[in-house]
C-alpha cells in the first residue's frame, strides 16, 4: 500500500474540501434566469398543442352516399336535411300556429317516413299526440298549462313483453324570435335519426323505447311535466336520456346523472363513442350557478326516474336568439351527438337494470373524462374512501420526505418542521392571493363600469385574471426566497418543501370537502395521486437528494395534471363566457369568471408556478407577469374590450311594447299609458347605448312603482323576470301601443261569508296563449285558499305575496276559470286585494308600429331585442 506523506495528506484534504464546498454551492444556487421564459412558455404551448385540439375534436360526418358502406351508423347528413326543413318553419312559440300545427304535422310526417322503412316483422311503432292540462310550481310562480302538445312515439320489439321503457326527450318549441336550430332542433333531428336506425336494425332489443318530442319546454318545462304526470306510457318509463342544447354545436357533455343510479354512468362509460362528462359540471349546475334549467329535473322530481342529462353547449352566444339557425350548426357536431346517443340507446334498451332500477339505486356516481380519450367513474362511497386514503397517504409521504431532508442536510427534525411550517403559511397566503387578486380585478372593473370586457375577446382573461392568479400564488414564497436563505438546507430542498406545502393544502381541502358531502374533491384526489406518484419515485431513487433532479419526475406527472385541469376549466369558461350576457344585472359577472380562472390556476399550476423560484431574479419574472396584466388592462379599455359584436356576441335586451291600464276600487281608470318595458340581461344594462342616437329621454327605474302597484306595474313574463324586476326600466311613449288581440277578465261572482271576514272571488280569464296573474292582498288580508295548487300557500316561509300565476295554452283556447278565497281578522267591507292581469302577445303575428320601428332603427347593430306587445291591466277588488 502506498503511504502519503504529510504534505500530500494536506493537499488531498484541501481537494476534498474544495469539491464538497463546490457541490454544496451548486446545490444552493438557482438556475439561470434565462431558462424561466422557456419554462413558462412550455405550459402555454401545451395548452394550444394538446388541450384545445382535443377539446374541439369531432368525428367526420357520415353522408347518405356512404351509408351502405357503414350500416347501422348514425347518418348526420340525413339529420341535417331534416333540420334544414325544421329551421325553415321559423320560431315555434307555444300557442303559435308554427308550433301547434305546422311543427306537429312536420314531426308526424317524419315519423310516418320512418314507419315506411321500419322492419315491421321485428318492431311495432305507435304514435300519440298528447294534449295535457296541468300545473306545478317552478321558481317563484305557479305554472298552469292547458292543451299544450307532445308528439310521443313508442318503438317496441315484436318479441318482447317488457313493461319497462327507456325514455328519450327533446323539445321542438323555441324562444320568441328564435328558429331554434340548435336549441333544441339539433336534438330533435338526432332523435329522429336514432329512431330510424333502431327501427331498421337487424338486431332487436329488450325494452320498448319512448321518443318524447315535447312542445313546451321553453314555457318553462310544461310539456315534460304533462307527459310524466299524465301520459299512459309514463309509469312504464324507468330511465331517461334528456337531450338539450345550450348554444349551437360542439361536443355533447354529460352534466347530470342519476340520481342514485351509478349504473347509468357505467353504461355511458362503456358505450359512449366520444365520452365528455364532469361531476364538477353536475354540481355547479345543481347549485343553480348557471341561469338555466332542463326537463331532466321534471322527470327526476315528478316522475322519480333516473337518467342522463346531455347537452351541447358551444357557441352559447346564439342561444335563444334569431342567430340560432341552421347555417351555424356544424354537421360534425350532429354526428358526434348522434353516435353517442345511438350507442347509448342500443345499450340501455337492452339493460337488465331497467326491470327494477330501485334495486340498483346505490348512491351517486363520481365521473369524468380525460381529454375525451377515456372515461373514469366510480361510486360516491368509493370516492369517499379514495379521497381520505390519498389525503392521508400524501401527508405521510410528505413526512417521509421531510425526514429524509433532515437526515441528508444534517439538521434537526424540529428545524425542518419549522421550515415546512413557514412554507405552509406562505403557501396559504399565496392561495388567498391567488383567489383574491383576480377577484380584486373583477371588482375594479365593475366599479369602473367596464365589466364583461372578455365577452367577445375571451383571450383577455389571460392577462386580466390568470396572470394575477399566478402572481398571487407565488408572490409570498418569492419574497421569502429573495430575503431569506438557510445555509444548512439547500435551495432545491426548499423548493421541494414549497411543493409539499401545496400537497398538504390539497389534502386538507380534500378532507374538508369530502366531509361536507361534495363529490368535487375528486379533483384534489387526482392532484394528490399524481404528486405522490412522483414523490414516491423520487424517494425510492436517488433523485430526491440530487439537487433539482427531482423536478423532472414532478413535472412529468404535472403534465397530466396541467392538461386535464386546463381542459376541465376551459369547459366552464366556454359555458360561462356567453352566459354572462344573460345573467341579469344584479351581480358582478366578472367575479364568477375571475373565480373560475383563479381556481383553474390553483389546480392546473399549483405544483408548477412555485418552481419559478428555481430561477435567479424570480421577482423580476413576477414583475413581467404584472406587466402583461397591465398591457391587457390597457387593451381592455379600448374597443377590443367592448363586449358586444353584431350577430356573433350581441347585447341582449328583453323589450316589451306595453300598454298599461290601472283601475281603482271605484272602477275609475287612473293610469292609461304606453311605453317600453326593458328587462336587463347583463350588468351593463342600457349604458352602452349612451353614445348612440337612441332616444332614451324619460327612461326611469321602476323602483318608484313597486310600492304603488303590484309587480311594480310591469308585465314581467315569468319568475326569472319578476325576481329582477326592481332593476328593470320603463320608457314612456306618447303613442298608444296597439295590442293584436283581446284580454278579458270577468268577475263571475263574489261571495261574502256570514261573519263578513272571508270572501270568495270567482273569475274567468280569456286572452292570448301567454297570460299572467299577480295577486297581492292588501294590509290585514291574506289568501286563505284558491283553485290553483296550494304549494305556494302551504309554504309561506318560501313564497310570499305578490303571488305570480303563469298561464299558457296550446290548442285549447277555452277561457280559464279560477277562484280566490280571502280572510281577514276584521270585516271585508272595503278594498281586499290588488290583481294584475297580463297578456303577452308573443305567439301572434304582429307588426311593429311606426314609433317602435323608429326606436328600433336607432339601436346599434350589436343590440338584440326579444320583443312583443303586452297588455297589463291592474284592478283593486
Which H or E run contains 840?
Answer: strand 833-840
Residues 503, 550, single domain; the answer is yes
Residues 109, 215, single domain; the answer is yes
Spatial CB neighbours of 255, under 8 Å, sequence gap ≥ 6: 277, 278, 281, 282, 285, 309, 310, 311
- Return d(Cα 284, Cα 290) in angstroms, integer: 7
Residues facing residue 125 across a β-bridge: 155
Rg (CA), the chain: 32
For residue 616, the 8-state DSSP code is T
In the predicted model, what is the mean pLDDT of residues 501-513?
97
Tens digit of pLDDT for each residue in 180-229? 999 999 999 999 999 999 999 998 899 999 999 999 999 889 999 999 99
Q: Which domain holds residue 684?
A: 651-876
Tens digit of pLDDT for each residue in 453-477? 999 999 999 999 999 999 999 999 9
CB 277 within 8 A of CB 365: no
Burial 206-216 (b: 16+ CB within 10 A, else e): bbbbbbbbbbb
Asked if residue 75 belongs to a domain, the reply is yes
For residue 723, the model assigns a pLDDT of 63
Spatial CB neighbours of 561, under 8 Å, sequence gap ≥ 6: 526, 527, 530, 531, 603, 604, 607
Query: Among 326-330, 554-558, 652-656, where is mean pLDDT lowest?
Result: 652-656
In the predicted model, what is the mean pLDDT of residues 795-813?
94
For residue 285, the model assigns a pLDDT of 81
> pLDDT band at 719, cuts 50/70/90?
low
> pLDDT band at 2, cuts 50/70/90?
very low
Q: For helices 76-88 and 104-117, what crossing angle results, to 10°?
A: 150
Q: Do strands 307-312 and 252-258 pair parallel, antiparallel, or not at all (unpaired)?
A: antiparallel
Residues 511, 547, single domain; the answer is yes
CB 810 within 8 A of CB 147: yes
Residues 631, 670, single domain; the answer is no
> Residue 753: pLDDT above 80?
yes
In the predicted model, what is the mean pLDDT of residues 754-763?
92
Asked if residue 6 belongs to a domain, the reply is no
Residues 307, 211, single domain; the answer is yes
Spatial CB neighbours of 555, under 8 Å, sequence gap ≥ 6: 608, 611
Spatial CB neighbours of 62, under 8 Å, sequence gap ≥ 6: 70, 73, 74, 75, 76, 77, 335
Higher pLDDT, residue 617 or 627: 627
Q: Do strands 307-312 and 237-245 pair parallel, antiparallel, or not at all (unpaired)?
A: parallel
- Averaged pLDDT score across all residues of the chain: 92
> Residue 25: pLDDT above 60?
no
Residues 635, 655, single domain; the answer is no
Asked if residue 201 belongs to a domain, the reply is yes
> Residue 14: pLDDT above 60?
no
> Residue 836: pLDDT above 60?
yes
For residue 215, the model assigns a pLDDT of 97
Residues 154, 78, single domain; the answer is yes
Spatial CB neighbours of 804, under 8 Å, sequence gap ≥ 6: 140, 141, 142, 711, 716, 718, 719, 722, 772, 773, 774
Residues 522, 624, single domain; the answer is yes
The count of other CB atoms within 10 Å of the CB of residue 797 is 5
Spatial CB neighbours of 726, under 8 Å, sequence gap ≥ 6: 701, 702, 703, 706, 712
Grid coordinates of 594: 375571475
Domain boundary among 641, 664, 684: 641
CB 130 within 8 A of CB 214: no
Cis peptide bond upstream of 258, omega within 30? no
In the predicted model, what is the mean pLDDT of residues 264-280?
95
> Residue 849: pLDDT above 90?
no
Determine whether 849 is exposed, middle or buried from the number of CB atoms within 10 Å of its CB (0-12, 13-18, 19+): middle
CB 851 within 8 A of CB 736: no
> pLDDT band at 485, cuts 50/70/90?
low
- Return d(Cα 149, Cα 131) in angstroms, integer: 5
Q: Do strands 744-752 and 141-146 pair parallel, antiparallel, or not at all (unpaired)?
A: unpaired
> pLDDT band at 29, cuts 50/70/90?
low
Residues 494, 570, single domain; the answer is yes
Asked if residue 455 belongs to a domain, the reply is no
> Residue 73: pLDDT above 90?
yes
Asked if residue 683 belongs to a domain, the reply is yes
For residue 559, the model assigns a pLDDT of 96
For residue 319, the model assigns a pLDDT of 95
Residues 622, 692, single domain; the answer is no
> pLDDT band at 1, cuts 50/70/90?
very low
Asked if residue 679 belongs to a domain, the reply is yes
Determine whether 707 is exposed, middle or buried from the number of CB atoms within 10 Å of its CB (0-12, 13-18, 19+): exposed
The count of other CB atoms within 10 Å of the CB of residue 9 is 11
Angle in degrees, CA 30, 32, 35, rounded to 5: 120
* Sheet of 651-663, strand order: 133-138, 141-146, 803-809, 770-777, 833-840, 863-876, 651-663, 669-680, 729-733, 700-701
Tens digit of pLDDT for each residue in 74-132? 999 999 999 999 999 999 999 999 999 999 999 999 999 999 999 999 999 999 999 99
> Dmax over Cα atoms in the chain, in whole Å?
128
Dihedrals φ, ψ of 39, to 5°? -60, -45
Say which CATH number the domain at 354 has. 3.40.630.10
Helical residues (DSSP H) of 272-330, grouped into ranges: 279-286, 295-303
Tens digit of pLDDT for each residue in 401-422? 999 999 999 999 999 999 999 9
Most confident of 715-724, 731-740, 804-813: 804-813
Grid coordinates of 426: 406562505
Residue with cell 353517442: 340
| Total-model pTM | 0.93
Domain boundary among 585, 611, 641: 641
Tens digit of pLDDT for each residue in 35-47? 888 888 999 999 9
Determine whether 841 is exposed, middle or buried from the number of CB atoms within 10 Å of its CB (0-12, 13-18, 19+): buried
Domain count, the chain: 3
Higher pLDDT, residue 704 or 626: 626
> pLDDT band at 291, cuts 50/70/90?
low
Asked if residue 26 belongs to a domain, the reply is no
For residue 27, the model assigns a pLDDT of 43
Tens digit of pLDDT for each residue in 292-326? 789 999 999 999 999 999 999 999 999 999 999 99
Which H or E run contains 36?
Answer: helix 36-46
CB 113 within 8 A of CB 192: no
For residue 811, the model assigns a pLDDT of 96
Residues 602, 662, single domain; the answer is no
> Residue 6: pLDDT above 60?
no
Which H or E run contains 241?
Answer: strand 237-245
Percentage of the residues of the chain whose pLDDT score is greater than 70? 95
Residues 758, 868, single domain; the answer is yes
Instruction: Name the nearest CA neighbour of 522 among 388, 391, 383, 393.
Output: 383
Instruction: Name the nearest CA neighbour of 309 among 258, 344, 352.
Output: 258
Tens digit of pLDDT for each residue in 570-614? 999 999 999 999 888 778 999 999 999 999 999 999 999 999 998
Asked if residue 141 belongs to a domain, the reply is yes
For residue 598, the model assigns a pLDDT of 98
For residue 724, the model assigns a pLDDT of 62
> Residue 374: pLDDT above 80?
yes
> pLDDT band at 619, cuts 50/70/90?
confident
Amino acid at each position: 500500500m502506498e503511504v502519503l506523506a504529510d504534505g500530500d495528506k494536506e493537499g488531498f484534504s484541501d481537494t476534498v474540501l474544495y469539491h464538497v464546498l463546490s457541490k454544496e454551492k451548486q446545490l444552493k444556487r438557482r438556475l439561470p434566469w434565462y431558462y424561466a421564459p422557456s419554462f413558462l412558455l412550455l405550459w402555454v404551448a401545451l395548452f394550444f398543442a394538446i388541450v384545445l385540439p382535443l377539446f374541439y375534436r369531432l368525428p367526420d360526418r357520415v353522408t347518405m352516399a356512404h351509408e351502405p358502406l357503414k350500416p347501422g351508423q348514425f347518418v348526420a347528413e340525413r339529420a341535417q336535411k331534416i333540420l334544414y326543413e325544421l329551421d325553415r318553419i321559423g320560431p315555434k312559440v307555444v300557442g303559435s300556429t308554427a308550433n301547434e300545427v305546422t311543427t306537429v304535422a312536420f314531426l308526424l310526417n317524419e315519423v310516418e317516413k320512418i314507419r315506411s322503412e321500419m322492419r315491421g316483422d321485428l318492431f311495432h311503432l305507435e304514435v300519440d299526440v298528447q294534449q295535457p292540462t296541468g300545473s306545478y310550481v317552478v321558481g317563484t310562480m305557479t305554472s298552469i298549462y292547458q292543451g299544450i302538445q307532445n308528439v310521443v312515439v313508442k318503438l317496441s320489439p315484436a318479441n318482447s313483453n317488457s313493461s319497462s321503457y327507456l325514455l328519450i326527450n327533446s323539445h321542438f318549441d323555441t324562444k320568441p324570435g328564435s328558429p331554434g336550430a340548435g336549441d333544441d332542433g339539433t336534438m330533435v333531428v338526432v332523435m329522429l335519426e336514432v329512431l330510424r336506425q333502431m327501427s331498421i336494425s337487424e338486431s332487436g332489443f329488450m325494452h320498448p323505447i319512448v321518443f318524447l318530442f315535447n312542445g313546451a319546454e321553453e314555457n318553462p318545462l310544461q310539456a315534460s311535466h304533462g307527459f310524466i304526470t299524465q301520459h299512459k306510457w309514463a309509469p312504464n318509463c324507468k330511465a331517461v336520456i334528456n337531450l338539450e342544447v345550450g348554444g349551437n354545436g360542439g361536443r355533447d357533455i354529460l352534466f347530470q346523472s342519476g340520481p342514485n343510479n351509478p349504473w347509468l354512468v357505467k353504461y355511458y362509460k362503456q358505450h359512449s363513442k366520444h365520452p365528455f362528462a364532469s361531476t364538477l359540471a353536475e354540481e355547479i349546475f345543481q347549485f343553480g350557478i348557471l341561469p338555466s334549467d332542463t326537463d331532466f329535473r321534471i322527470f327526476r322530481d315528478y316522475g322519480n326516474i333516473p337518467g342522463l342529462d346531455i347537452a351541447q353547449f358551444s357557441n352559447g352566444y346564439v342561444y335563444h336568439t334569431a342567430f340560432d339557425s341552421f347555417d351555424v350548426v356544424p354537421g360534425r357536431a350532429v354526428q358526434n351527438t348522434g353516435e353517442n346517443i345511438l350507442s347509448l340507446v342500443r345499450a340501455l334498451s337492452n339493460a337488465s337494470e331497467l326491470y327494477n332500477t330501485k334495486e340498483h339505486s346505490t348512491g351517486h356516481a363520481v365521473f369524468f373524462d380525460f381529454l375525451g380519450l377515456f372515461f373514469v367513474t366510480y361510486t360516491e362511497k368509493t370516492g369517499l374512501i379514495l379521497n381520505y386514503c390519498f389525503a392521508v397517504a400524501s401527508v405521510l409521504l410528505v413526512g417521509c420526505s421531510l425526514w429524509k431532508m433532515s437526515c441528508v442536510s444534517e439538521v434537526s427534525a424540529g428545524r425542518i418542521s419549522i421550515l415546512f411550517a413557514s412554507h405552509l403559511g406562505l403557501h396559504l397566503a399565496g392561495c388567498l392571493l391567488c383567489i383574491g387578486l383576480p377577484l380584486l380585478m373583477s371588482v375594479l372593473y365593475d366599479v369602473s363600469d367596464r365589466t364583461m370586457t372578455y365577452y367577445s375577446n375571451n383571450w383577455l382573461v389571460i392577462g386580466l385574471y390568470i396572470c394575477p392568479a399566478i402572481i398571487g400564488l407565488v408572490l409570498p414564497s418569492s419574497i421569502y426566497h429573495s430575503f431569506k436563505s438557510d445555509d444548512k438546507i439547500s435551495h432545491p430542498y426548499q423548493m421541494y418543501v414549497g411543493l409539499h406545502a401545496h400537497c398538504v393544502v390539497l389534502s386538507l381541502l380534500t378532507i374538508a370537502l369530502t366531509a361536507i358531502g361534495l363529490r368535487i374533491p375528486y379533483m384534489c384526489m387526482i392532484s394528490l395521486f399524481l404528486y405522490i406518484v412522483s414523490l414516491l419515485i423520487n424517494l425510492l431513487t436517488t433523485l430526491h437528494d440530487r439537487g433539482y433532479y427531482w423536478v423532472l419526475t414532478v413535472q412529468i406527472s404535472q403534465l397530466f395534471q396541467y392538461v386535464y385541469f386546463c381542459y376541465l376549466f376551459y369547459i366552464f369558461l366556454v359555458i360561462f363566457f356567453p352566459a354572462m350576457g344573460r345573467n341579469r344585472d344584479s351581480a358582478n359577472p366578472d367575479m364568477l369568471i375571475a373565480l373560475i380562472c383563479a381556481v383553474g390556476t390553483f389546480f392546473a399550476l399549483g405544483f408548477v408556478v412555485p418552481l419559478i423560484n428555481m430561477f435567479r431574479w424570480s421577482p423580476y419574472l413576477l414583475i413581467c407577469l404584472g406587466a402583461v396584466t397591465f398591457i391587457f388592462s390597457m387593451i381592455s379599455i379600448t374597443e377590443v374590450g367592448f363586449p358586444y359584436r353584431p350577430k356573433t356576441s350581441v347585447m341582449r335586451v328583453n323589450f316589451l311594447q306595453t300598454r298599461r291600464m290601472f283601475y281603482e276600487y271605484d272602477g275609475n281608470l287612473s293610469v292609461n299609458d304606453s311605453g317600453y318595458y326593458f328587462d336587463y340581461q347583463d350588468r351593463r344594462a342600457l349604458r352602452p347605448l349612451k353614445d348612440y342616437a337612441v332616444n332614451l329621454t324619460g327612461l326611469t327605474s321602476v323602483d318608484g312603482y313597486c310600492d304603488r302597484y303590484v309587480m311594480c306595474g310591469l308585465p314581467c313574463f315569468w319568475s326569472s323576470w319578476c325576481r329582477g324586476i326592481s332593476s328593470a326600466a320603463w320608457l314612456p311613449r306618447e303613442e298608444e301601443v296597439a295590442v293584436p288581440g283581446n284580454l278579458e277578465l270577468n268577475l263571475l261572482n263574489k261571495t261574502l261569508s256570514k261573519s263578513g271576514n272571508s270572501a270568495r272571488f270567482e273569475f274567468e280569464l280569456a286572452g292570448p296563449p301567454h297570460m299572467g296573474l299577480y295577486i297581492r292582498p292588501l294590509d290585514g288580508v291574506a289568501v286563505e285558499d284558491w283553485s290553483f295548487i296550494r304549494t305556494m300557500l302551504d309554504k309561506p316561509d318560501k313564497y310570499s305575496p305578490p303571488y305570480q300565476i303563469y298561464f299558457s295554452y296550446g290548442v285549447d283556447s277555452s277561457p280559464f276559470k279560477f277562484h280566490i278565497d280571502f280572510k281577514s281578522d276584521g270585516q271585508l267591507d272595503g278594498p281586499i286585494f290588488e290583481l294584475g292581469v297580463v297578456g303577452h302577445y308573443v305567439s301572434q303575428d304582429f307588426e311593429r308600429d311606426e314609433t317602435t320601428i323608429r326606436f328600433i332603427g336607432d339601436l346599434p347593430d350589436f343590440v338584440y331585442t326579444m320583443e312583443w306587445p303586452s297588455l297589463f291591466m291592474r284592478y283593486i277588488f
